[in-house]
Amino acid sequence: MANQVGPGEDGEFRIVVCGKVGNGKSTICNALLGKDQFKAGTLTEDSEVAQTTKNGVTVKVVDTPDMTSAEKKQKEKKAIVEKWKELAAPYPTTLMLVIRGDATYTKEDFIVYRQVRRFWGKSAARER
């Protein structure tokens, strides 16, 4: 199936988790890894990566900072995404946008979605 989410050609899952501050990105990252690697409940200042092996498959997870801050210029946001790409090299197998299920979908959530599309291309926002 062409749209099935799976490991890259090297057999490794590389998951970039993005979203606005307070949506639970670090908690999701810890759940994906099966261990408390990222500090949940605090502001993620910089992109971080951690990995684990499950059933012989390497799972690499990138926890990312919020990109909706009005103080961040477009050039800074592009640099943040470039770091995501570097940490998920050679390419991410999954981009995961975390949105709170217990709150209203906000303008900031949509901004993150639009920025992911802008910096990664329209194919990044394809439903799987």
Q: Per-residue pLDDT averaged across 12-38, rounded?
A: 92
Question: What percent of the chain has a predicted confidence (pLDDT) above 70?
Answer: 88
Q: Which residues contact 28 (CB under 8 A, 6 or more apart)?
A: 17, 96, 98
Q: How far apart are the first and last CA of the chain?
A: 10
> Whole-model pTM above 0.85?
no
What does the mean pLDDT of the chain come to?
A: 83
Q: Six-digit token pair at 31? A: 């759940």
Return the closest-CA partner of residue 8 out of 56, 58, 64.
58
**Predicted confidence (pLDDT) per residue in 34-72, tens digit:** 999 999 888 888 889 999 998 889 999 999 988 776 677
